[in-house]
């Protein structure tokens, strides 16, 4: 969950989001841009990106830095809209995932030597059961 606003740039006051928004779309856009570009840069440093064809020049550090400078300078817009059903529905939805038990105790068969055995069902293949 995130707050419906933030501290002003001078650090002296609270700046609330527009009514009906959990987080300012402008702020969300900037944060998303920063996170996305940081992860993209990390992927490049690890050699996880391939540049082929017309993009082959981006493999050079100078070209990459030039592209990233241009991308950082542009305003990004993240599409955000109020949730269907309001905040209570959002919390109920999130709670189903954040408070779910991965494997219930009734499915555990044994725990020995750091290894767990449990019962399972393969729903994709006709509820075939296994251990």
SS3 5: strand
Phi/psi at 58 (5° precision): -70, -15
Is the pTM above the cut of 0.75? no
For the CA atoms of the chain, what is the radius of gyration? 23
pLDDT at 89: 82
Residue corresponding to tokens 């987080």: 23
Rounded CA separation 122/110 (Å): 20
Please state, as a whole number, how many other Cβ atoms lie within 10 Å of the Cβ of residue 41: 14
Q: How many CB atoms lie within 10 A of CB 103?
A: 11
Q: Mean pLDDT, consecutive 10-residue segments, the chain of 131 residues?
A: 73 80 76 93 92 90 93 86 75 78 82 86 72 57
Residue 130: per-residue pLDDT: 60
Give me the pLDDT at residue 103, please: 77
pLDDT score recorded for residue 102: 73
């Amino acid at each position: 969950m995130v707050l419906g606003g933030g501290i002003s740039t001078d650090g002296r006051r609270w700046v609330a989001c527009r009514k009906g928004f959990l987080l300012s779309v402008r702020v969300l856009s900037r944060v998303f841009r920063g996170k996305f570009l940081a992860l993209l840069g990390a992927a490049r440093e690890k050699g996880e990106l391939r540049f082929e064809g017309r993009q082959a020049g981006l493999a050079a550090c100078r070209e990459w830095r030039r592209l990233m400078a241009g991308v950082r300078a542009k305003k990004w817009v993240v599409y955000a809209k109020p949730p269907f059903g309001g905040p209570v529905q959002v919390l109920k939805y999130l709670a189903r995932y954040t408070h779910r038990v991965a494997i219930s105790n009734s499915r555990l068969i044994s725990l020995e030597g750091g290894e767990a055995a449990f019962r399972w069902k393969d729903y994709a293949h006709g509820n075939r059961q296994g251990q």
